[in-house]
Chains A and B, each alone.
Chain A
Amino acid sequence: MRPGALRSSGGSATPPSPRAVRPESPPETGLWRVPAEVFHLGDARIPAGAKTTSPLRSGSAASTHGSKTQTGVRGQVLAPAGVGGAAANGQRPRSFVLAALLLLASPALAAVGDPAEQLRDPAQEEKARAIGRELRCMVCQNQSIEDSDADLARDLRRIVREQVAAGRSEREVIDYLHDRYGDYVLLRPPLRAGTLLLWAAPAVALAGGVALVLAMRRRSAAAPAPAPLSEEEEARLAEKLRGRPGA
């Protein structure tokens, strides 16, 4: 996700000017506010003043056995994962395992998971997540709305959950956003004349490669074996070689 600016206007005379993506809420101080989720890990909130600013970095803090303040942060961070006891032990191999665990866990942590945002019914929440993973965050362009911290993505997540809670089908929810944002909002673009090349490209590339290999094989097989030298040629060859050293 690109933090602030989003889009250039183009134009030869003026440099491309950035376009605003709305911050968290109308900010009281400063222009942009960092989304709360950046500091958010499961249910444990890292104090904003603490040395670690992101879930991943707090993972590396766990492996360095730092000062007391870090231990505090570490305990808080690791508690939800259920491995706080190992951290307190402070042995090297264990911290290694811990770091590995944190690394493994990071994809899950990266997903936005504000409990206040989730639906109460786990089945509905799972359905909403599945739908959200099919929808592109318009602002970040390469994340699904389930993975993005962007304000617009949060709004879209809310809409998806509202509609899921109202009993709409996956198709209906996706169509609702497709009507408003077009093909761009779908992470899986539909197959139609305009997107045919996009979908066919891998097959075309593969077929081209196979054809090339086959053509090269056929050519090398078809190449005529050199005919044996005639007696006259043998004689001339021997003549030519006679003058050379080693002959």
Chain B
Amino acid sequence: MNEVSTPPPRAGGSEDRRSALSVSPHPNPPPQSGGGRRRLLLLAPLGAAAAAGAGFYAMLRGLGTGSYDPRGVPSALIGKPPPDFALPPLDGAERPPLSAADLRAPGRPVLVNFFASWCVPCVIEHPQLMRLSREGVPLLGIAYKDKPEDSLGFLRRHGNPFAKLGVDQPGRVAIDWGLYGVPETYLIDKAGIIRWRWAGPITEDTMSAELQPLLRRYA
């Protein structure tokens, strides 16, 4: 681009026509192919900007619908059976304990939910869990790093949507699941394969946009 402002001695191409002196025609005109390529090169930044714009727009849309999450961490367990584990029951909750055997070929899709009484987003998602439970979706709960009496109080206060309950007070089983925060919810299909992991509260949007279609697909 700086050829435009260069002094006349560097004439080469169309610039010499712009020079103050009308000394044209130039004795040896430059090859014509150079002009077309240069025009293409000028369009290249425009093209790059357009591509970037389209990309950013897609990301922005994905942020809105929840299909794109820049902080999302994909689960390493998708497409695999759950890890082997056996957890003690939550005393007083009157639910059987949870172990890996309950997730081997359950015959219908089930949800495993990690929760804790100290976790505020768990309170946010709890109404959705209650709704799923009323709709007959088997929900299996794991109380993560929580005192049993606190977990019990949490379930008494907000309702108990879980068919089975395990207590993972040291948080070791959670690490086998690749958990990195609560709440986290895993969908296990009827053959006992993990199909979906949701890290974060299940909101009504998550229900309608992700979970319900998945439950239908794996039913």
Contacts and interface: CB of A to CB of B under 8 A. Distances in A.
B150 A19 contact: no
Contact of B23 (A7, A182, A229): A229
Given A8-B69, A14-B203, A155 B171 contact: yes
A7 B12 contact: no
A139 interface: yes
A192 B171 CA distance: 32
Contact of A13 (B83, B199, B204): B204
A178 B75 CA distance: 11
Of residues A139, A155, A183, A233, which shows the largest number of chain B Cβ atoms within 10 Å of its Cβ? A155
Interface string A147-169: 00001100110010000000000
Interface string A19-45: 111110111000100000000000000
A22 B183 CA distance: 10
A17 B122 contact: no
Contacts of A68: none
B126 interface: no
B177 A11 contact: no
B63 A10 contact: yes
Contacts of B11: 226
A171 to B, nearest CB: 17
Interface residues of A, number: 44
Interface of A: 6-14, 17-23, 25-27, 31, 138-139, 141, 151-152, 155-156, 159, 178-184, 223-224, 226-227, 229, 233, 236-237, 240
Contacts of A14: 203-205
Interface in B7-30: 8-12, 21, 23, 26-28, 30
B182 interface: yes
Given A22-B118, A180-B76, A9 B145 contact: no
Contacts of B72: 7
A64 B205 CA distance: 55
B18 to A, nearest CB: 15
A9 B200 contact: yes
Nearest to B119: A20
Question: What size tier do the contact residues of chain B reach?
Answer: 35 or more
Nearest to A23: B118
Among A7, A9, A178, A240, max chain B CB count under 10 A is at A9
A224 B12 contact: yes
Contacts of B71: 6-8, 141
A227 B8 CA distance: 12
B75 to A, nearest CB: 7
Contacts of B120: 18, 20, 31
Contacts of B189: none
Interface string B189-219: 0000000000111111110010000000000
